């Protein structure tokens, strides 16, 4: 007979979980494994609220295994370190992102691309090597193999820096891989949300000219005056869209809703690159003629491996890049999820787990 989540492992844990497709989260008692020789036990202080947490809680992607404790933008402090762990010690400030495991021996793992490993273990809604479920950062503590734990820079705010562990690496990785880092080149950022606003900041740090592409006219002042974008393009204005055709070297598309790709492809110069990182729940239509006639590229990208995520954190610390956040208590999470569904947050909720998760 299968054991309950509270009885599977020796360490008692507490968090908030969704039990069904309503996505409503409520207090949840479960258990974590004992800290092994290669493990780090972390007291969770802050956890960002990613849009994928909402998708997963409501089973909008179709593979949620309830109960689910979301959260993969975790910042905390080490409380235990196994005897084989040399990189971390008790008291260190650390981060945990989207993944907590992989096979560690395939070609992608050997290239520090654990996020593309066929046996990737996600921080929540996944299965550990022992076939028990993973539970995320909406909880008081977590146990993680040291390979997947990140040093969190001392000069990076732990609350505003937490979303970088997903949002930051999601835009940083494709910028590096697709060569979207050459100073003076023109980057378009489609969508000004949790991913998009960080893309603007990282793009400017790389020395790019950055234009925010949005269907919301009210975001122009926010994009230019607050976030530092060079310009704003209203995608719902056909005349402005036409005038901007063929002006951008790259576009990073962060939009998670179903949308047309043709206008974005049209904005690219010859040899331009459109990289999508949003995850709409339905397929997008891809027009081929403008790709062929303009020798343009459409690509995609998933987060990044542990090495690159550490590189991103250090880059953001150097350039003073954090996410714009609204800090919330754990018991506000269901209201926060409703607001995320309405795009009513600028630009990321972060749960003050250490000060508000009470049993």
Model pLDDT, residue 110: 97
Angle between helices 306-318 and 196-205 (to 10 degrees): 70
| DSSP secondary structure string for all residues of 240-281 | HHHHTTT-EEEEEE---S---SHHHHHHEEEEEEEEE----S
- Residue 238: pLDDT band (50, 70, 90) is very high
Residues 2-31: tens digit of each pLDDT: 788 888 899 999 999 999 999 999 999 999
Percentage of the residues of the chain whose pLDDT score is greater than 90: 91
> CB atoms < 10 A from the CB of 273, how many?
20
pLDDT at 281: 77
Banded pLDDT at 117 (limits 50, 70, 90): very high
Mean pLDDT of the residues in the chain: 95
Q: Dig out the tokens for 354 from the structure.
A: 């250490």
3-state secondary structure of 332: helix
CA distance 17 to 135: 9
Of the pLDDT bands very low, low, confident and very high (cuts 50, 70, 90), residue 1 is low
Domains of the chain: 11-165+324-352 (3.90.180.10), 167-300 (3.40.50.720)
Q: What is the pLDDT of residues 32-48, one digit of tens each?
A: 999 999 999 999 999 99
- C-beta atoms surrounding 272 within 10 Å: 24
**Can you tell me which residue has the tokens 């000219």?**
209
Query: Taking a C-beta distance cutoff of 8 angstroms, is the pair 72, 167 a contact?
Result: no
Q: Please tell me the pTM assigned to this model.
A: 0.94
- For the chain, what percent of residues have pLDDT higher than 70? 100
d(CA 72, CA 163): 9
Q: What is the pLDDT of residue 191?
A: 95
Q: What pLDDT sits at residue 210?
A: 98
Does the pLDDT at position 121 exceed 80?
yes
Contact 186, 209 (CB under 8 A): yes
Per-residue model confidence as pLDDT tens digits over 142-183: 999 999 999 999 999 999 999 999 999 999 999 999 999 999
What average pLDDT does this structure show over 106-135? 96
Mean pLDDT of the region 267-289: 93
Residue 274 contacts residue 267 (beta carbons within 8 Å): no
CB contact at 8 A, 192 and 211: no
pLDDT digits (tens, 9 = 90+) for 191-225: 999 999 999 999 999 999 999 999 889 899 999 99
């Amino acid at each position: 007979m299968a054991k309950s989540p509270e009885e599977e492992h020796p360490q008692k844990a507490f968090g908030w979980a969704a039990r069904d497709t309503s996505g409503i989260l409520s207090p949840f008692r479960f258990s974590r494994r004992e800290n092994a020789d290669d493990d780090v036990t972390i007291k969770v202080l802050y956890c960002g609220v990613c849009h994928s947490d909402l998708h997963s809680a409501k089973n909008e992607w179709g593979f949620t295994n309830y109960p689910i404790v979301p959260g993969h933008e975790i910042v905390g402090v080490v409380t235990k370190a196994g005897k084989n762990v040399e990189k971390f010690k008790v008291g260190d400030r650390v981060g945990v992102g989207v993944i907590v495991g992989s096979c560690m021996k395939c070609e992608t793992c050997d290239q520090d691309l654990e996020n593309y490993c066929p046996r990737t273990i996600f921080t929540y809604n996944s299965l550990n090597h022992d076939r028990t479920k993973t539970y995320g950062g909406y909880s008081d503590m977590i146990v993680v193999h040291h390979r997947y734990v990140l040093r969190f820079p001392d000069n990076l705010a732990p609350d505003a820096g937490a979303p970088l562990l997903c949002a930051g690496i999601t835009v940083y990785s494709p910028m590096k891989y697709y060569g979207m880092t050459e100073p003076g080149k023109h980057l378009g950022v489609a969508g000004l949300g949790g991913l998009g606003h960080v893309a603007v900041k990282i793009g400017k740090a790389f020395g790019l000219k950055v234009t925010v592409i949005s269907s919301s006219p009210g975001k122009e002042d926010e994009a230019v005056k607050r976030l530092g974008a060079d310009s704003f393009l209203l995608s719902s204005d056909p005349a402005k869209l036409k005038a901007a055709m063929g002006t951008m070297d790259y576009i990073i598309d962060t939009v998670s809703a179903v949308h047309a790709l043709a206008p974005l492809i049209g904005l690219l110069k010859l040899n331009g690159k459109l990289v999508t990182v949003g995850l709409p729940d339905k397929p997008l239509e891809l027009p081929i003629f403008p790709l062929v006639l303009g020798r343009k590229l459409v690509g995609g990208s998933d987060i990044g491996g542990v090495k690159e995520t550490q590189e991103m954190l250090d880059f953001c610390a150097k350039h003073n890049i954090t996410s714009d956040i609204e800090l919330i208590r754990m018991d506000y999470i269901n209201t926060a999820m409703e607001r995320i569904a309405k795009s009513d947050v600028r630009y990321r909720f972060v749960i003050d787990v250490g000060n508000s998760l009470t049993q």
